[in-house]
Amino acid sequence: MNEYKLFINGEWIAPQSGESIISIDPSTGESIAKIAKASALDAQKAIAAARRAFDAGVWSALSPEKRGQALEKIAQTIRSHAKELAEIESRDTGKTIKQATFIDVPTCADTFSYFSKIKHELEAKKLNIVAPVDSKICCEPVGVVAAIAAWNYPLIFFGWKVAPALMAGNCVVYKPSSVASLSIVRVFEIIADVLPAGVLNLVTGGREVGEELARSVDVDMLTFTGGTSTGQEIMKMASVNAKKLCLELGGKSPNIVFADCDMDAALGGAMSAIFMNQGQMCVAGSRLLLEDKIYDEFIARLAKEAQRLKIGNALDYTTEFGPLISREHRDAVLKFIDQGKKEGARLVCGGKIGDVADFDKGAFLEPTIFVDVKSSMAIAQEEIFGPVLSVIKFSGVDEAVKIANDSKYGLAAMIWTKDKEKAENVSRSLRCGTVWINTYGGFYNEAPFGGYKQSGFGRELGVEGLLEYTQAKHVCRDTTPGGKSLAASWF
């Protein structure tokens, strides 16, 4: 079993505690690697390395063009190791090998390529101020950025957070989830010689490391993807130096299907929205809102399709539905399923541990659908983060919008209708950061992503995502000889 260390200041070092985290394959239950378990002291070393590198200007002083060249090299290196990284990601997280191969790895590489090419967005912008004043806005890096990522999309989050942070000229301390670090450690190994020492550091570990990153006065910005309750704790800890925050938190996204939809397209979208990645997505369409006219027909067809999904080893290319991240997480999801039954929702399929031949130690769970769900039920309000769908009936546009917005979250939503005007009107009424109309899950490097309400704030991807990692400086110059303009002679 391979053992992996921390990457700090351009070197691989053992954790101060000497302890490790065991990486478990959720398909088999087997131990596949030992990951260094960093302490607060290790985090402090990583922060100090990033601080020295930033203050010395070894990265921030480079032109955006030079930084972009390094990002493109990272992208090409990831692509050259695509097969290996996909297999690691699948074994470490339980996501299907098809998804890791065709979505996760290329998305990570493409994100680095995208941000490497938008250097013009960092150029100073001259303001149209009346002479003799010459005024401009400069985009400068924030400084030391700490990035803490969730376990459901390790490679994608690495690209989303690190690429814009580096392009903007920052130095980074990166902490992947303690239950999904393996692919990230491997990425650090293959890109170790691309960047100057201290510019990008890796600390693997648990809560102690995250708390140190949040509290450190030497960290200027923290970007976090994870649960809302954890994000709220981070906000409190980060207040010690009022560091800048970008938080992508929980979701309970409504998937609104009107009677005038394309039924086949809406069925496919509903399946993807809740069962892709075994429902372990912040943007999962976990609340399916069905118009009463098609309620029974849609449910019957959806349940039939869900029961057809092939559950199995994530590394098998014929598998359509892999395991959850761990047996512990599966237990938490099963508690929600029990709660749904107690609250009076009707289970039409799933709800049990998945039975996969020869993989009795895996973390499998059947695709689960509840119907006759009320918006007040816990399964309709709480983020389950698993393959559990709550189906709610509505009658008319106004009721659909009311139910959709009846949530503390506001990350994403889906609308299915052939009526373009209806779709546009509903999309404007929804309190969320992304609305997909007659489609699901389109993420584009050019388009910003983030939430409303308790789904967080700040944006990832797009120009907006790049500018999150900058701060604007106004530079104002008096062009009169001797600086004797009216503004300079008030006193």
What whole-number distance in Å separates Cα of residue 35 and Cα of residue 27? 19
- Residue 208 has φ and ψ, to the nearest 5°, of -55, -40
Catalytic pick among 282, 366, 432, 460: 282
321 pairs with which residues across the strands?
A: 311
171 is catalytic: no
What does DSSP say about strands 244-248 and 221-225: parallel, antiparallel, or unpaired?
parallel
Catalytic pick among 248, 291, 460, 468: 248
Compute, in degrees rounded to 10, the torsion defined by CA atoms 222, 226, 229, 234: -10
Token pair belonging to 473: 């400086």
- Residue 390 has φ and ψ, to the nearest 5°, of -105, 120
- Evaluate the CA torsion angle 40, 43, 45, 51 in order and state its sign: negative
CA-closest candidate to residue 190, choices 198, 200, 177, 180: 200
Mention every residue, 6+ apart, whose C-beta is less than 8 A from residue 44.
212, 216
What whole-number distance in Å separates Cα of residue 360 and Cα of residue 262? 39
Q: Which residue has the tokens 């009022």?
A: 242
Neighbours of 140 (CB within 10 A): 15
What whole-number distance in Å separates Cα of residue 116 and Cα of residue 355? 46
3-state helix, strand, coil in the chain (%, to 5): 40, 20, 35
What does DSSP say about strands 31-36 and 2-4: parallel, antiparallel, or unpaired?
parallel
Mention every residue, 6+ apart, whose C-beta is less than 8 A from residue 477.
133, 134, 135
What does DSSP say about strands 244-248 and 346-349: parallel, antiparallel, or unpaired?
unpaired
248 is catalytic: yes
Half-sphere exposure in the Cβ direction for 459 (13 Å, CA): 18
Mention every residue, 6+ apart, whose C-beta is less than 8 A from residue 173.
43, 46, 47, 50, 144, 145, 146, 147, 201, 203, 213, 219
Half-sphere exposure in the Cβ direction for 244 (13 Å, CA): 17
What whole-number distance in Å separates Cα of residue 140 and Cα of residue 466? 11
Token pair belonging to 425: 């009107």
What does DSSP say about strands 244-248 and 2-4: parallel, antiparallel, or unpaired?
unpaired
Q: Which residues are catalytic?
A: 248, 282
